[in-house]
Chains A and B, each alone.
Chain A
């Protein structure tokens, strides 16, 4: 086994083995689990990116078992981008978490130590599941991996020992399970109709009829609930705000993207061509409209929050909206473009926004975690003056927020530029206005936090010293968002492998 099959196996098995190691408990086991998981994911991301850059899309049947019984692996540019983003963000969050949960000398003593004891293994299983989703080439495998993802994600929320976090985790679990069941229903219907589980084989059949429509609807609703698109978003803020800070970062930055990734695969790659054009465009328009409402609604609610982490969580609701604004733009083409293609600017912009949001939101949650750790309180008011005590964390929060708002130079700017370009080259000023307005609203809530944090007259008391590692982790991600705003060529080149339309 060499090259691509090796790296796909490492991507999934690395974090899984690391999680089992971490399950042994004890400081050394936790630390080595996190190191092993990060190292194997980064190596796999690097290896996969290089392999598919050199050799193109990777297809592999695990253990040589044929379709439809065997597990089919498929890695194209999109999958490699997702794995890379997960590896980078995940590694930094792991680094942060090792300081955040502090010295876990006696793991059984306090209820809070439960977080320290179980965060690492749960997170590593989650990581394995995400990578599993990205390399999956068949639908049933996607379902299994999404279940692993959902279970470990819900468990991470309840690691925080507040009553609210417990309730939020419970609700998240039910939403996640119900979503998976809807997805499974779709899988069943599709297998009944087409007799295959492989995404690629299914795409080749141009699924279009009534059964395919029902299946796609069920799967999409389930996935939308997991992705927390308006109006199915209400579970997200309590869950993401309730989790411990590294957990919040993972859930907001990465986990919602996994189900979004499946939506993209289904809509763009499997069903994009078989459905009647008018119905497909109507459905894409509905997705985009919901995304647009999410941008406005999420931002307005973010402005009304008094808790810092809830504000960031509502910001996630809003930013998820941008991901869906991509869909109606995909179908709109510049005059004279190939009518069979998707709008490339919309595609690049949407996925780049996913990358930008992953980095920026993780930076913001980690920085917010440092700030609330220092003042032992989560209210926005209580962080007043923190910018003077924790300038690096504040800078990380600010850079992340400005990137989300699309202020150059940042990854968020590049993605908004591309989305705007897609909207304007087909003359859709409405979407352009919406994208710009969303940016201004984002600025409003980021600045609201900034206003408290920079206040001079208040000195936060009591003030707990924040480990340097936590500050550095947040700023690393923030600097990366800026760097990706100055250099988008390589990520987009990687994304283009397999193309926006891999299976004609």
Chain B
């Protein structure tokens, strides 16, 4: 395919990937509420275009091209977008999940007010996420990371209820304070080390750190505070369960791709591309991060146990699962990195499925609590199959995706000499089982215990197809990523390319 290869070498591809969701977002903002067809068309064109462009870049990167697009903002500081293997891992995830979530959101919000605003900010939110993924230096990262806060806020408060406004305020207080820390940390780093470029293996000259360790410790913890809030590390995870009031597609995107993954990705960048894992380990900060992550894993699972609200239970599960990524990134040796990175994708796939299913339950039969879920498997069998696949994956049952992550994390822990990770993983898996299996039992085996008509159906499908298909698709990908983990194009295969190709 000479023509395709020609395109794949195109330098501005990273910019185009960002613009492919930015442009529709801006245009949608100016549409009238009743221009539904045009809005949907624009959304789908943007999502499709983004997938195509990302596909092009994937072939390019697999062929060894490194994309880089830069624009000078200040003397010495550039807005840099790069497309290397690591960036593309995250970009691909967001492009795929944006597509399915958009379809889901169109179905979910059918007939509700303010959809123009919703879809406008939805596209901008994905734009910011893509920017975070492809940021080539900390300066660019900060810009998109802050933009993400502001584009997500209108989505969190979309319903305009008291609870939504309150959740939005809490979200802003957390993220904005974090943003201030991040900016001060980034400037401090620039003023001290003179560079903000992300470099595989670390950008800071260890000599500088040895000369002035205290200063770099402050900078590290400022930056960690900045990215840790969105990565929902204990004790700054409080905003995440509260932000549950957002509509289901927002929660889905928030938990799988946009905000929390930007935070987790930030931790990876901080540990690997800014300080470098060897330097971070030597400074002792990697151990602090790992310990914090391990604690968060157990803590999140424990909190999830006691939640009756389904979305809240899923949210605490996210708090816990996110820290797998952080934990993997904070260990010294490659196997753990593979585990952490691949979980970035796997957790996204599984968690978005769970939220899609929770949305279907709420929308179709108004079931929002775990205690009301008795027998829903008979009314919504396909939904609950998707839910079951994702939940079992979260627990870590082979052959679903989650198993692959935990396997590599465990092996990586042993390889890195951090054997304590094994009991953490075991405890977490047991706890995962303890809060997911009762849901499955209730849904499949208990008698109906809430007010919904078991027979009521509008068509042969159990729910609106735009809600159901996305859930089935993501569940299918989650299963496939586990089953075919050993092929080159699976998330695991790509992660290996990143880690063993020196991309981290």
Q: List residues of chain A with CB under 8 Å of any chain B CB.
A: 334, 402, 406-409, 413-414, 416-418, 420-421, 424-425, 432-433, 436, 439-440, 443, 447, 451, 454-456, 485-489, 492
Q: Is B180 touching A414 in the complex (CB atoms < 8 A)?
A: no
Q: Is A418 touching B191 in the complex (CB atoms < 8 A)?
A: no
- Check B411 for interface membership: any CB of A closer than 8 A: no
Interface residues of B in 174-208 (CB under 8 A from A): 176-177, 179-181, 183-184, 187-188, 190-192
Contact partners of B177 in chain A: CB under 8 A: 440
Of B79, B157, B172, B180, which contacts A439 at CB under 8 A?
Answer: B180
What does DSSP make chain B's interface, helix, strand, loop or mixed? helix
- Check B71 for interface membership: any CB of A closer than 8 A: yes
Of A421, A433, A456, which contacts B191 at CB under 8 A?
Answer: A421
- Check B143 for interface membership: any CB of A closer than 8 A: yes
Q: Is B71 touching A406 in the complex (CB atoms < 8 A)?
A: no
- Closest-CB distance, A408 to chain B (whole angstroms): 4
- Check B112 for interface membership: any CB of A closer than 8 A: no
CA distance A420 to B184 in the complex (A): 7
Contact partners of A439 in chain B: CB under 8 A: 180
Contact partners of A402 in chain B: CB under 8 A: 150
- Closest-CB distance, B366 to chain A (whole angstroms): 23
Q: A439-B180, A443-B176 are in contact. Are A421 and B75 (CB under 8 A)?
A: no
Q: Is A424 touching B79 in the complex (CB atoms < 8 A)?
A: no
Of A409, A424, A440, A492, which contacts B143 at CB under 8 A?
Answer: A409
Q: What 1/0 mask marks residues of chain B from 51 to 89 whose CB sits below 8 Å from any chain A CB?
A: 000000000000000000001111100010000000000
Q: Is A416 touching B71 in the complex (CB atoms < 8 A)?
A: no
Please give me the 9 A-B residue pairs with the lowest Cβ-Cβ distance, nearest first.
A425-B191, A424-B191, A420-B187, A408-B143, A456-B160, A436-B180, A424-B188, A408-B146, A488-B74
Q: Is B180 touching A487 in the complex (CB atoms < 8 A)?
A: no
CA distance A39 to B71 in the complex (A): 31
Q: A440-B176, A440-B180 are in contact. Are A492 and B75 (CB under 8 A)?
A: yes
Most buried by A among B142, B177, B183: B183
Chosen A-B contacts, 12 in total, with CB atoms closer than 8 Å, are: A406-B183, A407-B150, A408-B147, A420-B188, A424-B187, A432-B188, A433-B184, A440-B177, A440-B180, A443-B176, A454-B160, A488-B73
Of B147, B150, B184, which contacts A432 at CB under 8 A?
Answer: B184
- Check B333 for interface membership: any CB of A closer than 8 A: no
- Check B165 for interface membership: any CB of A closer than 8 A: yes
Contact partners of A417 in chain B: CB under 8 A: 74, 183, 187
- Closest-CB distance, A150 to chain B (whole angstroms): 36
CA distance A407 to B153 in the complex (A): 14
Q: How many residues of B contact A (CB 8 A)?
A: 27
- Closest-CB distance, A486 to chain B (whole angstroms): 6
Contact partners of A413 in chain B: CB under 8 A: 143
Q: Is B191 touching A407 in the complex (CB atoms < 8 A)?
A: no
Contact partners of A486 in chain B: CB under 8 A: 71, 73, 79
Contact partners of B180 in chain A: CB under 8 A: 436, 439-440
Q: A424-B188, A443-B176, A451-B165 are in contact. Are A416 and B183 (CB under 8 A)?
A: yes
Q: What 1/0 mask marks residues of chain B from 393 to 410 whose CB sits below 8 Å from any chain A CB?
A: 000000000000000000
Of B74, B176, B184, B191, which contacts A492 at CB under 8 A?
Answer: B74
Q: Is A489 touching B179 in the complex (CB atoms < 8 A)?
A: no
Contact partners of A485 in chain B: CB under 8 A: 73
Q: Is A436 touching B188 in the complex (CB atoms < 8 A)?
A: no
Interface residues of B in 117-175 (CB under 8 A from A): 142-143, 146-147, 150, 157, 160, 165, 172
Closest residue of chain A to B188, judged by CB?
A: A424
Contact partners of B181 in chain A: CB under 8 A: 436
Most buried by B among A417, A439, A451, A489: A417
CA distance A436 to B179 in the complex (A): 10
- Closest-CB distance, B192 to chain A (whole angstroms): 7
CA distance A492 to B143 in the complex (A): 20
Contact partners of A433 in chain B: CB under 8 A: 184
Q: Is A421 touching B187 in the complex (CB atoms < 8 A)?
A: yes
Q: Is B75 touching A489 in the complex (CB atoms < 8 A)?
A: yes
CA distance A413 to B147 in the complex (A): 12
Q: Is A489 touching B183 in the complex (CB atoms < 8 A)?
A: no
CA distance A436 to B142 in the complex (A): 15
Using A424-B188, A432-B187, A486-B73 as known contacts, list a sample of 10 further A-B pairs with CB atoms less than 8 Å apart, ordered by residue number in A: A421-B187, A421-B190, A440-B177, A440-B180, A451-B165, A454-B157, A485-B73, A488-B74, A492-B74, A492-B75
Contact partners of B184 in chain A: CB under 8 A: 420, 424, 432-433, 436
- Closest-CB distance, B119 to chain A (whole angstroms): 15
CA distance A447 to B168 in the complex (A): 11
CA distance A22 to B378 in the complex (A): 79
CA distance A440 to B179 in the complex (A): 10
Q: Is A418 touching B183 in the complex (CB atoms < 8 A)?
A: no
Q: A409-B147, A489-B75 are in contact. Are A424 and B183 (CB under 8 A)?
A: no
Contact partners of B191 in chain A: CB under 8 A: 334, 421, 424-425
Q: What 1/0 mask marks residues of chain B from 295 to 306 whose CB sits below 8 Å from any chain A CB?
A: 000000000000
CA distance A455 to B165 in the complex (A): 10
